[in-house]
Structure 1
């Protein structure tokens, strides 16, 4: 099983036993703000859990969709992912339970996974895409040293309206290992 550790977290492969916590996290209204209703169905997260477990066994591995576990409590508190793409690029994303937000745990997890991507996998660019009104995600990306590379007007349609999106990124040459 793949595992990374930080001072407060264990980042590890998703397991089927994470399903109930992952589904519960996805049902929080605050979590659902920037997702289409169909993307928030409980069955979607059950299917995603199975997909993430299967992806961990793929060779060569292209996706590191990891469960984030608190060392203090041993509880599943979120996910962080790095998806390898062409030209030594990778996309990154994360989702954390409401209880763990505001504690810089998402920064700690994303930083550890970015370090792994840059220094162990040889990724040259990591980027994230999000809805432009997702200020916590944008703040996290900027705290990781990412800069805005693109802004797309009325790029995604859900919840009855068009949403702008933004893309932020950092290059390996700009990354400072902590």
Structure 2
């Protein structure tokens, strides 16, 4: 089983036992603000749990959709992912239970996975795409050293409105300059 550890979190492959906590996380109305109605159904997240388990077995592995486990309690507290793409690029994403937000645990988890992507998988450029109103995601990306590379106006339509999306990214050489500070 894939596993990365930092001071306060363990990143590991998703397991069927994570399903209930994962579904609960995604059903929080604060979490659902930036997702379409279709993407908010509990059944979708049950199916995704199974997909993430299957993706962990793929050879070669191209998706790291990992559970974030609180080292202190052993609880599933969120998920963080890295998806390998062509030309040594990868996308990242995450979600965390509301009761753990604001604790720095997501910063720790995301830093750990970004570092793995650059230093172990040989990724050249890592990016995230998010709804422009998702301030927490943007703040996390900037913490990781990502800069805004583009804004797509009225790019997604859900919840009866058009949403702008942002693309933020960082390259390996930029990460290497920052990582000693972030991963201390």
Pairing 1:22-171 to 2, within 5 Å after superposition: 22-171=22-171
Aligned counterparts of 1:143 and 1:24: Cα–Cα separation in 2: 27
Give the whole-Å Cα distance in 2 for the aligned partners of 1:101 and 1:31.
11
Question: 3-state SS of the aligned residue for 2:174?
Answer: coil
User: Whole-Å Cα distance in 2 between the matches of residues 103 and 149 of structure 1?
Assistant: 28
Q: How many residues were matched structurally?
A: 178
CA distance in 2, matches of 1:151, 1:105: 28
Shift of 1:56: 0.1
Runs of 4+ in 1 over 3 A off after TM superposition: none
Per-residue CA deviation, residues 129-169 of structure 1 (Å, 9 max, x unaligned), is 00000000000000100000000100000000000000000
Q: Write out per-residue CA displacement over residues 92-128 of structure 1, whole angstroms, 9 at most, x where no aligned residue.
A: 0000000110011111000000000000000000000
**CA distance in structure 2 between the partners assigned to 1:168 and 1:113 by the alignment:** 16
Aligned partner of residue 110 in structure 2, secondary structure? helix
Partner SS state of residue 174, structure 1: helix
User: What is the TM-score when the length of structure 2 is the normalising length?
Assistant: 0.96
Structure 1, unpaired ranges of 5+: none
CA distance in 2, matches of 1:114, 1:38: 29
Task: For 1:112 and 1:98, locate their aligned partners in 2 and report how far apart those are by CA, in whole Å.
Answer: 20
Note the alpha carbon deviations across 1:8-46, whole angstroms, 9 max, x for none.
Answer: 000000001100000011110000000001101010000
Q: What are structure 2's unaligned runs of at least 5 residues?
A: none
TM-score computed with the length of structure 1 as normaliser: 0.99
Partner of 1:3: 3
Give, in whole Å, the separation in 2 of the partners of 1:23 and 1:96.
Answer: 11
Whole-angstrom CA distance in 1 between matches of 2:8 and 2:106 = 11
